[in-house]
Each structure stands twice: as structure tokens, then as C-alpha cells.
Amino acid sequence: MSYDQNIHVIFINVENGEPFGETSIAANQLPPSFDDNNTLQIGHEQWQVIEATPSQASDFIASKELVLHLKKISTPLPPSNILYSLPTISNEIPMLVQEAPFSSFTLFLHEDEWRQKEFIHPRKLALVGEEVDEIKEIWMNFSKEIDDDHRAFKNIHVRKTIGLPGLYISLEQLMAVLQVSEPGSISFQGHEGYVENGFSLETTNSKYYGIVENGVVKQLGVIEENDSTMREVNKLIRVFSLSFVNWVQCLIIPA
């Protein structure tokens, strides 16, 4: 058996089953066996050997042929290269259940939208201020301009200090003030199921969502649709003596 002879090696990408290269490699540069999860460097990329045919050196030296089925090893980006589209997200993401709490319609949200524009009990304003200071720091020192209308963020603040918003509002009364007749459910995009105890309301101008327990609204957020949304928000602030926070924009409207 000669380990100094060349072996014709074909590389196949297991993701699509297509060959993406071939080369001639001296047998003494190949391992005696591909039974273990070997890795290869091809150019600047690392690949994991998923399957080798044949797998033993004695066999591919005899045939002078070797086929390697490879999977590219993804290299995580260095933290310095990661950019976020938002400066902050909520620490609390609700549980999902299989059955919809309400059957009229479903509001689909991205997880990152949860509690980005929300109503807060006024007694929580001191904690709101602490969270907003952290978000302002990211805007000032950890953001970069992408184009005239967008910025990206090198850090992201996960809001843990604020906790739950401390609301206690009648869902029936909320619907009456907003002049809507039927609540809907909430789902997260890309996930099966519905937000546990979740509800949503649609007006001409806006979409509202939150958590309701035994007819009592415990969390309430809004998705702005047009300029009239803030008129509705200010009405709810007056009627229910609430404060309002747009976390991303660091906007606080006290009761």
C-alpha cells in the first residue's frame, strides 16, 4: 500500500447534493479513516465530513478515488459585527397556547413588537425613566446611520427593570371607549398557536393588543397605523388615568 500516491477527491455539498469541487490529494495528507467527524478547510471555509465513500484509507488508496459529502460549518460573526434593528426589546414574551382565546380575527405580531408602545400605570414612571436612560445611551453611543431614514444598533437593551405594567382595566369598558364590538386573538409570526390570554382590538386608526384575565386588561399595547392613533392614545390616558411609553423613541406621556 503506497501512501505517497495521489487520490482523486470529489467534494459534494450535502445541503443540495451537488458537487462543488474536486482535487488531487496525496494519500499521506488524508486521515486513515473518516469514521469520526473529521473537518476540512477548503479555501477560507471550514467543512464537516458527513460521509466519506470509501471511509477507510486502504480502500480509497486502492481505488484512488474518494467522495466526501460535506456540510459548511457556519462561523459566528464577531460581536463587533452584529447590528440590531431596534435599540430595545421587552424581557417578557407571553406563552403560546393551541386554542384561540377569541375567534373573530387574529392579529399577527413579530415578537420584537411586543410591548414596544404600551400603557403603564403612573406609579411605574420612575422605573420607566431608568429604562429610557439605558435606551438613550444606546441611541447616543451605540448606533450608526444606515441611510437617511434608518439607524442600526450595536447594542440592545432588554427591559428587565420595568416588569409588568401594572394595569387593571375593564376590557368591556376599553372596547366601549374605542367603539369596537369584538376582540380578536394574537399570534406571533413564524410560530404556531396563540398568545395565552391575549386579545386584540381594531379601530379605524389603530390596532391594540394585550393580556386579559377574567375580563381585566393587565397589559395593553398599540401598533400605530396613522396620525390619528395618538389622539386615541391620549383619550385612553385621560379616561383610565394611564401613562404611555414608546420605548424605541424614548417617548413618555405621563398621566
Q: For residue range 130-148, what is the model confidence (pLDDT) as tens digits? A: 999 999 999 999 998 877 7
Q: Which three cell numbers stand for residue 140?
A: 447616543
Question: End of a domain among 72, 92, 115?
Answer: 72
One domain, residues 152 and 98: yes
Question: End of a domain among 24, 50, 72?
Answer: 72
One domain, residues 53 and 110: no
In a domain, 38, yes or no: yes
Q: Provide φ and ψ at 120, rounded to 5°.
A: -130, 145
One domain, residues 56 and 113: no
- For range 212-231, the mean pLDDT: 92
- Give per-residue pLDDT as tens, 151-209: 889 899 999 999 999 999 999 999 999 999 999 999 998 788 999 999 999 999 899 99
One domain, residues 99 and 206: yes
- Give per-residue pLDDT as tens, 226-251: 788 999 999 999 999 999 999 999 99
One domain, residues 160 and 65: no
- For range 10-23, the mean pLDDT: 85
Least Cα distance to 206 among 242, 245, 172, 180 occurs for 180
One domain, residues 183 and 66: no
- CB neighbour class for 83 (10 Å; exposed up to 12, middle 13-18, buried from 19): middle
Q: How far apart are the first and last CA of the chain?
A: 86
Q: Provide φ and ψ at 93, rounded to 5°.
A: -120, 125
Buried b (16+ CB within 10 A) or exposed e, 213-238: eeeebbbbbbbeeeeebbebbeebbe
One domain, residues 49 and 143: no
Domain carrying residue 221: 80-253
Domain count, the chain: 2
What pLDDT band is residue 150 in, cutting at 50, 70 and 90?
Answer: confident
